[in-house]
Amino acid sequence: MLIRRETPGDVDSVRAVVAAAFAPTQAVPGHGGADGPPVEVRLLDELRADPGWLPELSLVAPAPGGGIAGHVVCTRAHVDAVPVLGLGTLAVHPDHQRRGVGSALVHAVLGAAEALGEPLVALLGDPAYYSRFGFEHSRTYGVTAPEPQWGKYFQVRVFGRPVPPPRGRFSYAAPFSRVDGG
């Protein structure tokens, strides 16, 4: 499966994929519906305008026959003052789910992050899904979640480097705190 960097011409297609992937959450207050697109679309829009946006880590999976099947992005985050990455959103259009698109995107963005020399990537997600990519509970590495109630769902993937990974409180790029679903 081909995974490539997002281009400026992909932005509208990526927004459509994220909206379709998160459409079931639109029934939840704060997740769009009559009020607008899902919160994940608004988050992506704000991330694009943020200094934490890293275009080299915004990747797409082209759909067979044209269009975009899926998208993943990592943005600049920090563990205390140390630069790291936050993964999210990961979105696969419902027509292309359960075909390995999401896995291919995660493998590609992690490979790119490691090649760029990043110390770790953190995310909020299902441990049953993300453990296959080497993610572990953040406390294993002394990384504190932004919200304590996230518990086991806040995970990190540490890359092998000559220096130990940073320890401390994790913080996402600023739009994650501004776009909270409300």
- Asked whether 76 and 68 are in contact (CB, 8 A), the reply is no
CB atoms closer than 10 angstroms to residue 38: 26
**Which residues on neighbouring strands pair with residue 87, listed in sequence order?**
74
Range of the domain at 8: 4-178
- Asked whether 124 and 88 are in contact (CB, 8 A), the reply is yes
- The number of distinct structural domains making up the chain is 1
3-state secondary structure of 144: strand
Per-residue pLDDT of the chain in tens (182 residues, 90 and over written 9): 899 999 999 999 999 999 999 986 544 444 444 567 899 999 999 999 999 999 999 999 999 989 999 999 999 999 999 999 999 999 999 999 999 999 999 999 999 999 999 999 999 999 999 999 999 999 999 999 999 999 999 999 999 877 889 999 999 999 999 875 44
Q: Give residue 167's identity as a one-letter amino acid code.
A: R
Query: Rounded distance, CA 168 to CA 166, Å?
Result: 7
pTM of the model: 0.91
CATH number of the domain residue 54 falls in: 3.40.630.30
